[in-house]
Amino acid sequence: MTCKYGKHCCLYPGSFDPVTLGHLDIIRRAAGIFDTVVVGVLHNPDKQGCFSVEQRMDMLKRACEDIPNVEIIAWPGLLARLTQKTGIRVVVRGVRNGADLDSETTMAHINGQLDPGLETLFLPAAPGLADVSASMVRQLAQFGADISNYVPSQVLPDVLAAFDKP
């Protein structure tokens, strides 16, 4: 099957609730490797959402506005169904530490079983961004701490407004 995004494309899936500087670093690096990076806003059943899917996509679009080869999409179902439907053959995931590597390896195996031939590539988090997570950002914002070192400047007002700390 031909991929609707071209041969040299990848999917970078996540909850992006909200997009962080760690996510943005992975998107930029993937965009330097692949012709097209499809950033997929997917549902993680283990996490309670804070922002709506539309808000997450809007924040991602603004954060990625200077990266021309990025497409932002939303998908409500299984990752493997998305890759089968689009023909995308490579998934990129960022890995921050050993715990991430363990859980991401399991996810890669399951996705590969559901969609045979699907490859998952891990990119190590950049030094300095390895401790950044969306859940940590949400928690800091909730208690009024400075989150400007952790989220793209374009989305900072959205996060502060969500926690009523403009």
Contact residues toward ligand PNS (CB under 6 A) are: 13-15, 42-44, 47, 78-79, 107, 110-111
Helices (H), the chain: 21-33, 53-63, 79-86, 98-114, 134-142, 156-162
Q: Which residue is nearest to ligand PNS (CB)?
A: 14
- Closest to ligand PNS by CB, 14 vs 152, is 14
From the CB of 81, what's the least distance to ligand PNS, in Å? 8
- Closest to ligand PNS by CB, 45 vs 166, is 45
Between CA 9 and CA 11 the distance in angstroms is: 7
What sign results for the dihedral spanned by CA atoms 80, 82, 84, 89? negative
Residue 140 has what DSSP assignment? H
Burial class (CB in 10 A: 0-12, 13-18, 19+), 83: buried
From the CB of 15, what's the least distance to ligand PNS, in Å? 4
- Closest to ligand PNS by CB, 17 vs 158, is 17
- Closest to ligand PNS by CB, 102 vs 144, is 102
Between CA 126 and CA 95 the distance in angstroms is: 9
- Closest to ligand PNS by CB, 100 vs 166, is 100
From the CB of 32, what's the least distance to ligand PNS, in Å? 21
From the CB of 77, what's the least distance to ligand PNS, in Å? 7
Residue 84 pairs in a beta bridge with none
From the CB of 166, what's the least distance to ligand PNS, in Å? 26
